[in-house]
Structure 1
Amino acid sequence: MLNKVRIPRLRRERPESDGRNRTVQACNTCRQRKMKCNGKKPICAQCHAQGLTACDYSEAKIVIERKQLELAQVKIGAYEDLLRKLSLRADASTAKQITSTLKDPYTTRSERQNSSSSASFSSIGSLDNIDTVGEDLNRSKESRATGYIGKDSEIAWMQQLELNATKQSGNWDSLENPSECRPLTEDSIGPMNYRLDYDHLSDPEVTNAFVLPPKALADHLLHIYRSNVDTSFPIIRWGLFMDQYRRLFSGSSINPGRKWLAVFNMVLAISKKFCRVSKQDLRGYTDDDVFFARAKSLNISDTVLYGYEDLQQVQVETLMALYFLTVSRVNRRGGMIGIATRSGIALGLNIRRTNNTLDLEANEARKRLWWSIFYLEHLLSVMTGRVSCLGDGSCSAPPPLLFGNSNYRLSDVGRMGYGQLAQTGDVQWTIFQRDEQIEAQHTCLKSMEPSASLYFFYLIDLTLITHAIINREHSTSIFQDGWIQIESRIEVYSQKLDQWVSSLHASLAFEDKDGDQLLRSISYYQVSLALHYYSARVILNRHCLTRPEIVGNNGIRIPRSRFHNNTSSAFILASLALIAVLPDQPDTGWAYNVAPWWGFLHFLMQATIASLLHLSVLSVPARAEANGGAPKSVEMPEVVLTATKKALHWLYCLGRSDTAARRAFLLCNSCIRRIAPSKGLDLSDIPSTIDLSQTPSTAHHPLQWGIPRETSNSTLQQDQGSDNHQAPNLTASQAFSNNKGSEDILFQESEEAQTSRDSLRSLSAVLDTDIAFSEWISHPTAPNFQDLLLLMMGPNV
């Protein structure tokens, strides 16, 4: 059979003029007319025949669809961002529905499993039993002294750290199921409390609460208060207060009143406490507890039980809460700041005023007093982990004026030109601003002159953001909202913190534009804002410090989600950044004169325990995508260990003269020494004990640091006028040296202090923050005055 041969098909060539070729794209004119177009540019044959000069060609369909898709993606992203922001303000059910809708439908099963695993094992216990109390807080004096400590307090972190350290030292780390560990709530949290709540607070007997100190001592203590306290707590209206103070010591028969004297003694008590901790002790003179006892005798009696609230009463209560903070009695401070908060609300200090019956100075005094109360209440909430008595939407008071110091005058408003800006509400808190408002306000703030008032605005602005974080992220409602809602809130509040730090005035900034710290020539204002900012970062990301979960008995660890890795890294980086603010060499003078001395130990312990928690976990990646305010890449765990050692050296240095710091060091030192063997940590250069017989290495005075604060001796003398009672420039070693040998010079009344003891006991004399001194002169010779005095104060007057 013959083989078949394939015959190829004949090719037919068409001439170019055949006209059957299709153009790639016809012009719009030919399309509308449904005419054949040859697609030539800039003009086709048909349009040229019609006498047109050019053709219009539309984009290809695929290009149009691609652009429409990109535009739709941008709009969807904007809608999702808007929904996330709305979910923060919506009720729990609506917020849960929004977050459920925003879930990515294309998330793989393994990703959902990882995310769920990270959430269920979140924060190695920070979310466990957040809505329960594991012990009877009324069972002993120690438990009552400590009170309830929430899971967001560094004391609760220390309890969890103690459990982890015990587990690791007992070789519990080999357990396949971490839930087999004994529950955290079995032990009392009291032993983990490094503060002095359980210690006895001296309560000396007061035989005469109306005695005045020598003028020179009072001047010195007032100067210390204005230099080291008033910038962050502008509780007092200094212009009027100093006028009244000057007239009191002028030798005239003036009746200051019980509440005014209580305010005066509380100022002296807080100043004397600062002298004691900063080693400026005026030996041979009354301690701070005596001044406090006098203020308590003058005010805390029938006034609290039966009296009506007034501004001076609120001032006394706020100053007493501040005093409890300075002496490390945080639990006692909680009750007093609660009373002060309620008293301020009763006077409407938390609400924006709409009438103009008050002058500007009186209105500013009220606003500064309220925001001082708010700041103190927030500090209590952070230190104890308790819910704040001020919920969302409880305050509408506007920001105070953003210029000058607390001794503002009406003439300053016209001179500076910023009064109308603050009064009309153009300056708003960052937490309440929309994104389009942020840039305009940043420009406004950065153009202002640096001042104590500008610092106070930034401090309260940051406090409001941190307050919102605690109320929305660390409340018991998280069990209703779900972990996805928490992630959304973390992202939103992280953005708010970024906006706050980017708005800082150049004189107050502690980071450059790249997020690196400015560690040299840093002032009190910068140190204070930096410590508060990094503390807020630690609180925000605390939930996400997690240990990978072990599945079953096969030892396989489920990795965390990308979000948890980033936020866990942001947590440890914020704690490292907080420690980096401190000088490399511990210095008590820096701690008490450059840092906010009333809360420095709290910030230091917060960062120290955070780094210890990381060392006990050792599973956080070395690079963070979220901005935590610290270097973006660190060598783990070496850098963390180095920073932890630095913090422990600081605690050791402070502990040589401060009991609370000594307890804090002993707790942290015990934990790290039990963690070290299982993690292979070198602790050779960490001190193990504190020799109480040693004295602090340095004893500094405020003037040695050159702190750029508003108040100085010249300011105090200017407030006092041109009389001869000007404040001397005293040092710790020279103060009242001419009075040595006296048992207690403070209570030996000089001629200028003897302003008629009977007149000082007047029951009707009251110096209000808005009322001139001369309007409240009363006559103590009224009938039955001594009988009334004995009835109210007892026979020991």
Structure 2
Amino acid sequence: MSGQFPPRPSKTEPRSDILGNDSAAFHYDWPGAGSRFPQQVSTEFQANIDPVSGEELLRPSSGEQSINAKVPIPRSAQTIPWTSTSRTSRACENCREQKAKCSGHRPTCNRCKDSGIRCSYGDRKKEKIIKEIDTLKAQIQTYETVLREVYPRLDLSSAQYVDQTIGGQLVRFWNLKSLLCCVNPLLLIKILTNQIHVQPSNSPSFRSDSGAGMDHPLATIDHTEEDFNRDEKQALGFVGEHSEMIWLYRLKRDLDQDNVTSLGETLDRPSISSMNYFQGNMEISVLDAIDVLGMPAQSTADKLVDAFFDLVHPAFPVIGKRIFLSQYRTFYSNNPTSTSRPGKRWMAVLNLIFAIAVKHSLLVNNEPDEELGNHLVYFTRAGRLSLGNVALLDHPNLQQVQVEGLTAFYLLSTAQVNRSWRMIGIAIRSAVAMGLNLRSESDDVPPLSRESRYRVWWALFMLDTLLCVMIGRPPSTGDNFCTTPLPIPFLEEDFENEEVKQLIMDYSIRQNLLKPLVTQLHYSPQPSHQTIDSLSPASLLAPGKAKQPAQASPVSIENIIPNISLYFLYAVDLTFLMREAIETLYAPGATRRSWLEMENAMSTLNNTADNWLSRLPTEFQFTKFDSDQPFALQRVSLSFQFYTTKLVIAQPCLRRLAHQPVGDSPSGSICDTMASMCVQVARDMLSLLPDETDIHLLYQVSPWWGILHYMMQSTTVLLIQLFMRTEPGTTEAVGLTKDIQKAIQWLGEMAKRDASARRALSVCMDILSQHGQKFAMEID
């Protein structure tokens, strides 16, 4: 704009800035603004008076002009009407640029009108700021759109850098209290549109694992927040992301934080152990005055042994039933009080069977049975017989592995999950020391013993996976060093048949028979690992011999009659899928995958689970509790195991969406679909329970050693959906509250006879009493 007007003259030189209408025809060759006429002028000038200023002007004589002579500028004889001394409140851009007086007329001031140039008035300071903010908003919306598209494809370091940058800009914004200093596009647009509430950096909700961090694709990766060396936390210890206890902990923390934030208060970080509903903080009573070699009467022992093999052995065949029952009858056929007794470890196995059966009876009847005895007495005897310092230092044998496995199961049945998890680790190490994780090619091992050892390994494998999910810790067993074939779908009583013997001894025949029964796992967690086939259960049927031509099986699939061994095969196959889900979605190796890859993995795992369900025989299809149906316990056990596998697969999507505004995820996306499926699976799990509570039926036809875990897992998912993603008064809210009330009723009945259920009920009621008012939940 500075070139649109000539420079203003100084006070000492003649006015030459007021031009006539033909001023545009003149050419200026002045050296610059404020310059004088040349010192040497060879032209003679005639005096003339300026009619405006009254000053004397110099005009050259006619016909005598020098090359360097200046051309005189004629002055307008008209008086300028806008030379008022009054000041205008706002000057145009051109006058402001030239620092000239402006008339302030709109739309064109007099100065611009006379000069024939375009006149414009700029915005005021406040208007400029508003326009700049609007421009920033538009830019940020563009940046946010691009960032949302690019973020899932970022590698780990880039994603962490983005998160750290967002957090740093938030601290700057809070400390300086200036909108313009918070230049991060994604954060600024959320602040300007009131999508987030800015809090000081010392607020409990300002941390990387809070809800704001759920955009991170690796939000399910474990980390520690507490000192587990403290006494009150040692009983529980570390709890990982795939445990429902950590889901409950995060839900309660977020809900409590929302309450105190609205009141302007601060909240101390709660302890994860506050969500612990197990009995790890209680000491196990060890009885001193006890006869280690004491035994119950044979009638009592028969009841306990039968209960164990009916209710526990099908899902946990750590004991060879046929061999053990033969030894048991021999033991009681002789005088139990005589000096002729089996070894201490066998006696420990028997006492652990008694302890587990008595614990189940106590849950069913809700009162001790003097005839059956005290389960702590049997457990103490077993511990002194085989779990002392000497036994733990000895090289393990098969009976020692069985003792340690049964001990882990007993601790689980008494809700000592932390101790059970540690004991199953010892049992697995003992089993590896015995080579039970590998196939046997020894001709010295008979077929019956060989298949029984395989089942011992898979029993430990399944219990380890269950405890891994309950407490959220990594499994103690791995696939890379396991070549044990999957169990055959025949009862132990049939192992002596020639056709079954051939199936046990010939791996190619075993593979040819079992491959159509098991599920192929098509998802590999790491490209550097083995191929998909090497990780699948089918590949474990005949490791190392897959290239051999398959031989005809002496038994066809059509001839396999549903039995508890076939149930165990399906349970092991589904356990592989659970293990795959944990390693894929929750292990630290998941940090190398973007959220898009995580979604694809969850979708693949979910499809594999559905494929497993499609293979399930009619005899094992899911139904509600009905003790009159055949394989009632096996049906319910498989249903709970299937539903908990689906929950573990889909839970990361539910957690991700729980911390985003409702509707933020597009309907039909993988994340939205998986989150909805997670909620539906939780409701399906609770629908297995009868509407009328019947504790006796619950403990008879369900996996009673883990039923509290399954109920709390499904209830936690429904609580997350209700409080984080549901509006009060909607149809969905009514359905969720109804399901949660059903779960609370069952927990209330279980709490009358189980201390762990009382704790679980207390944890749920604490959340509902503080935050359930807006949903008008009527819970006694």
Both proteins in one fold, TM over 0.5: yes
| SS of residue paired to 2:235 | helix
Please tell me whether the aligned partners of residues 655 and 665 of structure 1 are also in contact (alpha carbons under 8 angstroms).
yes
Matched, 1:524 2:524: no
> What's the CA shift string for 1:745-779, capped at 9, x where partnerless?
xxxxxxxxxxxxxxxxxxxxxxxxxxxxxxxxxxx
Measure, in 1, the Cα distance between the counterparts of 2:409 and 2:758. Answer: 22
- The yes-or-no answer on 1:656 pairing with 2:752 is yes
Counterpart of 2:699? 592
**Greater shift in the superposed pair: 130-139 or 363-372:** 130-139
Structure 1 contact 549–559 (Cα < 8 Å) conserved: no
Which residue pairs with 2:299 in the alignment? 216
Partner residue of 2:561 out of 429, 435, 449: 449
Cα distance change, pair 603–546 in 1 and its aligned pair in 2 (3 A): closer
Contact kept? 1:203, 1:289, Cα under 8 Å: yes
Alignment of 1:708-747 (within 5 A): none
Picking from 187, 191, 198, the partner of 2:274 is 191
* 2:435 paired with 1:352: no
Equivalent residue number for residue 270 of structure 1: 356
Q: Distance in 1 between matches of 2:715 and 2:765?
A: 11
Letter in 2 for 1:467: R
2:765 matches 1:669 = yes
Change (3 A) 1:414 1:550: closer
Residue 206 (structure 1) shift = 4.8
Compute the displacement of 1:303 (Å). 3.8
One-letter amino acid matched to 2:649:
L
- Say which SS state the counterpart of residue 333 (structure 2) adopts: coil
- Which of these two proteins has the greater Rg computed from alpha carbons? 2
Deviations 1:688-726 (A, max 9, x none): xxxxxxxxxxxxxxxxxxxxxxxxxxxxxxxxxxxxxxx
CA–CA distance in structure 2, aligned partners of residues 579 and 379 of structure 1: 19
Name the residue aligned to 2:315: 232
RMSD, matched Cα? 3.7
1:275: how far off? 0.9
Q: d(CA) in 2 for partners of 1:268 and 1:129? A: 41
Deviation at 1:417, TM superposition (A): 7.8
CA contact (8 A) 1:351 1:395 kept: yes
TM-score normalized by the length of structure 2: 0.64
Aligned partners of 1:619, 1:482: CA distance in 2, in Å? 28
Using the alignment, how far apart are the partners of 2:488 and 2:408 within structure 1?
25
Q: State the distance in 1 between where 2:561 and 2:727 align.
A: 42
The residue correspondences of 1:507-656 to structure 2 (distance < 5 A) are 507-510=619-622, 523-546=632-655, 558-560=664-666, 562-618=669-725, 635-656=731-752
1:237-636 to structure 2, matched below 5 A, reads: 237-251=320-334, 254-279=340-365, 281-283=368-370, 286-404=373-491, 406-411=492-497, 413-414=499-500, 424-426=510-512, 427-428=514-515, 429-432=518-521, 448-510=560-622, 523-546=632-655, 558-560=664-666, 562-618=669-725, 635-636=731-732
Distance 1:137 1:524 in 2: 38
Q: Which residue of 1 aligns with 2:221?
A: 130
Alpha-carbon distance in 2 for matches of 1:314, 1:226: 18
Seen in structure 2, the aligned counterparts of structure 1 residues 110 and 125 have a Cα distance that, compared at 3 Å, is closer
Per the TM alignment, residue 397 of structure 1 is displaced from its structure 2 partner at its CA by 0.9
CA separation in 2, counterparts of 1:199 and 1:126? Answer: 38
For the structure 1 residues 229 and 412, does the alpha-carbon distance in structure 2 shift closer, same or farther, using more than 3 Å as the test?
Answer: farther
How far has the Cα of 1:560 moved from its partner? Answer: 4.9
Is the 1:549–1:558 contact (alpha carbons within 8 Å) kept by the matching residues of 2? Answer: no
Match of 1:144 in 2: 234
> Residues 348 and 369 from structure 1, CA distance in 2 versus in 1: closer, same or farther, beyond 3 angstroms?
same
Residue 57 (structure 2) aligns with: none
**Counterparts of 2:558 and 2:727 in 1: how far apart (Å)?**
37
TM-score by length of 1: 0.63
- The separation in 2 between residues aligned to 1:221 and 1:126, in whole angstroms, is 50
How far, CA to CA, are the matches of 2:254 and 2:455 in structure 1? 43
Which of 1 and 2 has higher RCO (CA within 8 Å, sep 6+)?
1
Helix, strand or coil: the match of 2:612?
helix
Post-superposition shift, 1:517? 12
Aligned to 2:81: none
The answer to whether the Cα contact below 8 Å between 1:537 and 1:574 also exists between their aligned partners in 2 is yes
Q: In 1, Cα distance between the equivalents of 2:559 and 2:494?
A: 20
Mind listing any 5+ residue stretches in structure 1 that lack a counterpart? 1-106, 622-633, 688-797
Distance 2:368 2:309 in 1: 18
State the Cα distance separating 1:409 from its structure 2 match: 3.6
TM-superposition CA deviations, 1:379-407 (whole Å, max 9, x none): 11101101112234232211112022x44
Amino acid at match of 2:676: S
Distance of 1:588 and 1:458 partners within structure 2? 27
- Name the amino acid aligned to 1:649: Q
| 3-state secondary structure, aligned to 1:430 | coil
- One-letter amino acid matched to 2:511: G
Q: What letter is aligned with 1:600?
A: I
- Asked if the contact 1:586–1:653 (Cα under 8 Å) also holds between the matched residues in 2, the reply is yes
SS at match of 1:636: helix
What displacement does 1:520 show?
Answer: 10
User: CA–CA distance in 1 between the matches of 2:457 and 2:437?
Assistant: 6
* Cα distance change on mapping 1:542 and 1:414 into 2, 3 Å: closer
Query: 1:703 is matched with which residue?
Result: none
Indicate how the Cα distance of structure 1 residues 571 and 115 shifts in structure 2: closer, same or farther if over 3 A, else same: farther
Q: Percent identity?
A: 29
Contact 1:601 1:661 in 2 (8 A): yes
For the Cα contact (< 8 Å) 1:168–1:675, is it kept in 2? no
Cα pair distance change 1:113/1:480, threshold 3 Å: closer
Contact preservation (8 Å) 1:446, 1:504: no
Q: How many residues align?
A: 548
CA deviation after TM superposition for structure 1 residue 506, in Å: 1.0
Letter in 2 for 1:682: A
Counterpart of 1:213, as a letter, is P
Query: Which residue of structure 1 lines up, in the alignment, with residue 193 of structure 2?
Result: none
Distance 1:462 1:353 in 2: 24
**Which aligned pairs between 1:52-131 and structure 2 lie closer than 5 A?**
109=146, 112=149, 128=219, 130-131=221-222
Say if 2:356 and 2:413, in contact at 8 Å, map to a contact too. yes
Q: CA deviation at 1:249?
A: 1.7
